Amino acid sequence: MSYSGAAHVGHIVEYGFPRGQLGHLTPDEEEALRIFKELCIERGLYDPANTVGEFGYREDALLLRFLRARRFNVQDAFTQFHGTEQWRNENEIDKLYNTIDLERYDKTRRLYPQWTGRRDRRGLPVYVFEVKHLNSKTMSAYEKSVGVASEPGSKTPQKLLGLFALYENLTRFVMPLCSILSDRKYPGTPITQSMNIVDISGVSLTMFWNLRAHMQDASVLATAHYPETLGCIFIIGAPSFFSTVWGWIKRWFDPITTSKIFILSKHDMKATLELFIDPANIPKKYGGELDFEFGQMPILDPGLKDLLRWEGTYKDFPSGPIYWKDEGDHIEAIAVGSVGSKEREEVICKVRKVVYGLRSSIEYEPVTEPTTPSDMSKLAQLN
């Protein structure tokens, strides 16, 4: 059975970047956003006054993710957003992100999708995930170290809460960081999605079977509470039995998410990845030029070199949770988390604003001319 990108492309998603994003809404979508926002404010789920302190997180772009996930049906989006807010409160997700033990965070980071530090041609952060690392021995040791049971009042196992700290890092650190870079086709459109390369080479059918419950739980919760953070997934290294596994996996996602998953043959891999990602930003293992290995810290995008003003002795972003604080004329990257009982709150770097506009289209210094992506006609439905 063929799983090539070309074969799968006919089942593409409705809202590929930048459609359905700020600055690219139809009049009906603009009206849906207005009504949804007013409804969330009225019901006490969204307070614009509380969004000022943190940059790039609880803003219109967040609400749009829930609207896109529900095809701009306001009531359905509200139901999902309300459920997410309840889940966040029950599991104290904000507290988790701000106080998580740094060693625990890094152990989790090494198991799950990792940001390479680079972006695709549209400006979306590129993540890599090597599933073979989730073997039974590693997962058993990880669960033993973090605990399996849920906290009182929570239905989410501890082993999954660490994973959601990584989702928080995606939405509160990585996406805002990619949003401030103007060397992309739509520099005024916030980045709210990611590009993912999922490598399943070396994974046996037994290993898939042993992981199925964990991966299903993680996928269902992520789809419910972090909707529309996925630009697309390229699955590579699929073994001959993967048709059986794919039958399980596709049931875990809604049709929109499933339509963003492309299963590439070895023959299709390099050419398809290069349609979306410049070779300089594709790891060497997958036919590119980036010297990135799974497990290491991100290799920062060269576009950030002259944009970030490092504080103190910092010359790179440390491991652990980070968020962006809005200080009016500039934004600051704040590293949080804890070591033992000591909580961390350190300014890592600053980025100066130079032009004020809509909250979604502030420009930064230096501002360069946007690059033009190369032809992506074979997968044009994503654009």
Structure-block tokens of residue 79? 């139901």
Give the H/E segment covering residue 235. strand 230-236
Q: What is the pLDDT of residue 253?
A: 80
pLDDT, tens only, 35-60: 999 999 999 998 876 655 788 888 89
Output the pLDDT for position 362. Answer: 53
Q: Which residues of 69-95 are buried (b: 16+ CB within 10 A; e: fewer)?
A: bbebebeebbebbeebbebeeebebee
59: helix, coil or strand? coil
211 close to 134: Cβ distance less than 8 angstroms: yes
Confidence at residue 292, expressed as pLDDT on a 0 to 100 scale: 97
Intervals of the chain under pLDDT 50: 1-13, 149-150, 355-361, 366-381, 383
Distance CA 32, CA 21 (A): 13
pLDDT value of position 226: 96
Which pLDDT belongs to residue 288? 97
Q: Which DSSP string do the residues of 49-108 spell out, in sequence order? A: GGSSSBTTSSSHHHHHHHHHHTTT-HHHHHHHHHHHHHHHHHTTHHHHHHH-BHHHHHHH
Which two tokens mark 210?
A: 């042993």
Backbone angles phi, psi at 191, to 5 degrees: -85, 120
pLDDT in tens, 140-156: 888 888 765 445 555 67
- pLDDT at site 52: 53
Residues near 311 by Cβ (< 8 Å), separated by ≥ 6? Answer: 347, 348, 349, 350
